[in-house]
Every structure is written in structure tokens, then in C-alpha cells.
Amino acid sequence: MFRSYRFQNPGPDTMKVRVEMWSDEFLVAPGSCLTLRCLTGDTPEMATVEWVPDGLTFWPECYSYTAAINGVPCAKSEFSALQSL
């Protein structure tokens, strides 16, 4: 099962989105949108978002995900919790 999450930056400054448990960071320019497509289990858990001084931290509670900004895949667009085992 997949879940998608969108983080739209209304501006005026660049927004940093940190994806945990991978510690991956994405810089989202004003007016841009980061989309995360997350692979979850059959019974997905609730995702968590925390505002921090330099942006936000997101815990998607998933096995892997792909990322795109404004529909363009990010260079490191596929991460997996299984890779770190």
C-alpha cells in the first residue's frame, strides 16, 4: 500500500524538510511542492510532522519512499529502511 504526502512551501524563504529515520533533507524553494510517495504495510501507522527552527521533520512510518519536487524526481529519490539492515 502507498500513501502520498505533499509539503507545499508558500514562501518567502526556502523550507527544509527532514525525513526520518533516514535523516534525508530536502530544500523546498518558495512556491514549490515536495511530494513523498511512501510504501507502507497493510495497516499503515499515522505519520508525524514536527515544526523545528529550520523547517520541519517528518516521520512517514514507512518501509521506503520516493521523493519529487514539482513533479521532478529527486536525485536520491528512492530510499529504503531495508537497505540499512
For residues 44 and 2, the answer to whether their CB atoms sit within 8 Å is no
Distance CA 35, CA 70 (A): 8
The model's pTM: 0.84
The mean per-residue pLDDT over the stretch 48-58 comes to 94
| Residue spans per domain, the chain | 2-71
Instruction: Give, for 52, the enclosing helix (H) or strand (E).
Output: strand 48-52
63-82 tens-digit pLDDT: 899 999 999 998 754 444 44
- HSE-CB at 68 with a 13 A cutoff on CA atoms is 8
> Which ranges of 1-85 does DSSP label H, i.e. alpha helix?
none
